[in-house]
Amino acid sequence: MEFAHVFVLTHLSLDKNGDVESRNVAVTFDLFEAEDHRNNGVENDYESFVVPCDWRENAEQSELIATMREFRAMVKELQQDAELR
């Protein structure tokens, strides 16, 4: 199985109460972009994760998305059956 590195770019900021919080601001697959983000200021950083390349197949999905994918598969099957006749 192949894996990819994902970099979540973060930024420290103050919330309404004046507390420091870390916010996710972007995601990139490019290490150079992540390092450039970090080098733009001391409040910037990034977290690195390794994810399988087929993460979309295992990602959580809503019932609507699952239903639409099943519907698409049924339509494709009906089209193939029609072409065979």
Q: 53-82 as b/e, with b when 16 or more CB fall inside 10 Å?
A: eeeeeeeeeeeeeeeeeeeeeeeeeeeeee
The pLDDT of residue 10 is: 93
For 29-60, the pLDDT digits (tens) are: 999 999 999 999 989 999 999 988 877 666 66
The pLDDT of residue 54 is: 76
Q: What is the mean pLDDT of the chain?
A: 87
Q: pTM for the whole thing?
A: 0.59
Total structural domains within the chain: 1
Question: What domain range includes position 18?
Answer: 3-84
The pLDDT of residue 58 is: 63
The pLDDT of residue 28 is: 92
Contact 46, 9 (CB under 8 A): yes
